[in-house]
Amino acid sequence: MRLSTKAAVGGSALLAMMGAAGAAQAGGFQAPELGVRANGMANAGAAVLRGADALAWNPAAIAGTGAEGVVGASWRRTSLDLSDDGSTLTRPGQATLPAGGQAELHDPAEDFTAPSLAFTLPLGDRFAAGVSVTKPFHLRLEYPADAFSRYDLTRNRIEMTEVRGALAASVTPWLDVGVSVDGQETRALLDAASPNITPASADGLQQLTAKGWDFGWAAGAQARWDRFELGASYRSAIDRNLDGRLRLGGLTGPLAGANFDAPADVAFATPWSLTVAGRWAATDALALYAQVARTGWSKYDTIELAFAGQGAAIVQGYRDTTSVAAGAEWRASPTWTLRGGVQYDPTPTPAAMREPGVPDSDRTTWAAGATVDLTPGLSLDLAASLARFEDTRLHRDLVFYGGTPAATGATIRGTLRREEFTLGSALRKRF
């Protein structure tokens, strides 16, 4: 095979896989487990809560709160079922055939444990500094090697860890402001099958590994008037540049010369977000919360790809979303506080690009939580939530080896059912 054709074959195979790689940033994988107290209200009022664990939502949350440390973890169980509904493969010069393989896929998503740490320290009477560590994005999927969805994805590992350093100030007795610098480490591994021209030959395998550190910022404010409090925070988009490696192997016959192993650079942007939340003390024991969050997913419009002297832009077509949440908190006794909430969060993924690598749809989350004061200065936060995703259709069209005589088309059609159950706990120590 000539070098130019080899590059075209390898490049086209990678482009097919990269659609799944970037799309893993969908709303369904924007991990909401950033703080147990907020999770106990389905994140209603997260931007108006105060304390070290609220730092991940709003850098103004630590002003005037004193020295505090919070150590927590959330565990998520995902129930995910995918069913084939007419997926096909069309090889050059051959009739279109069913994709074949396992047609019913059950629970390919691994359980997720999200640790969270936060510490704050007052700097005089008006200023405070803080650090938080969270996992704002997460995805772990593993499908069988012969799944009907294999040409979209067989394995996906995307993990992002954020370290936020913040400085906050009490500007007036009723107004706090804060800013932060956010460093995020990304680690990714993606596998997908690549079809051979001969039906009797086993599929080839594409694999991409990538990692990198990138930085953004956030700013926020919180205001208080009698029984009403208001919080707002803005998190910047982050331009991500990952260093990685691409491997394509297992191709046979006329495609054998396209097998390769080369460095790869991947660039894309994750979205900005603007969150506004309110708290109203209806009585001395009962507080009501509401929150609206706008997420700029349209910032994630393309994935820029470079490898082996080639460059390409893969269109993603995501749209901005607005989530809404409402909740309540009740001081049931001197030692117990109970809370609950509900949130609606629409998916940013377009219906024409909904794929097994991004098993996402509009979701509604119900949550309940509690805080118990164990000793003076030490408390325990608890939370549980159930997220139900709307049943939706899978729709993914792929072209392998495009622009060459080996061009092969694959379509993925199916149905998706999903729900998530989450438990969380955190210890809070005030000094």
Considering only CA atoms, which of 235, 345, 330 is closest in space to residue 292? 345
Q: What is the mean pLDDT of residues 107-135?
A: 92
Please name the fold of domain 3-430.
Answer: Porin (2.40.160)
**Per-residue CA distances from 215 to 1, 186, 239, 301 (Å):** 42, 11, 8, 19
SS percent in the chain: helix, strand, coil, step 5:
10, 60, 30
The whole model's pTM is what?
0.88
Distances (CA, A) of 306 to 218, 243, 246: 30, 10, 10
pLDDT-based confidence at 384, cuts 50/70/90?
very high
DSSP single-letter state for residue 20: H
* Predicted pLDDT at 156: 86
Q: How confident is the model at residue 331 (pLDDT cuts 50, 70, 90)?
A: very high
CB 68 within 8 A of CB 367: no
Q: Which residues does 139 contact at the CB level (< 8 Å), separation at least 6?
A: 24, 29, 156, 157, 158, 159
What is the per-residue pLDDT for 24? 36
Proportion of the chain above pLDDT 70, given as a percent: 93
Instruction: Please give the Cα distance from 247 to 245 (Å, whole number).
Output: 7
Nearest to 26 by CA among 149, 165, 105, 141: 141
Q: Nearest 10 degrees: CA dihedral of 89, 90, 94, 99?
A: 10
Whether residue 159 is predicted with pLDDT greater than 90 in this model: the reply is no
Q: How confident is the model at residue 132 (pLDDT cuts 50, 70, 90)?
A: very high
15-29, 101-115, 347-361, 367-381: which has the highest mean pLDDT?
A: 367-381
- Tens-digit pLDDT profile for residues 24-69: 333 545 667 778 999 999 999 999 999 999 999 999 999 998 999 9
Determine which of 142-151, 154-163, 203-212, 299-308 has the lowest per-residue pLDDT on average.
299-308
pLDDT above 90 for 356:
no
Q: Which residues contact 156 (CB under 8 A, 6 or more apart)?
A: 20, 24, 139, 140, 141, 142, 189, 190, 191, 357
R_g of the chain computed on alpha carbons:
24
Q: Are 32 and 74 in contact (CB under 8 A)?
A: no
CB atoms within 10 A of CB 259: 18
Contact between 269 and 299 (Cβ < 8 Å): yes
Render pLDDT for 396-422 as a digit per residue (tens, 0 to 9). 898 998 888 999 999 999 999 999 999
- Token pair of 147 as six digits: 């799944």
**Left (φ > 0), alpha (ψ -120 to 50) or beta: where does 309 sit?**
left
pLDDT band at 85 (very low <50, low <70, confident <90, very high): very high
Give residue limits of the domains in the chain: 3-430
Mean pLDDT across the chain: 89
Place of tokens 């995902």: 78
Q: Under 8 Å CB-to-CB from 340, ≥6 apart: which residues?
A: 40, 41, 42, 327, 328, 366, 367, 368, 369
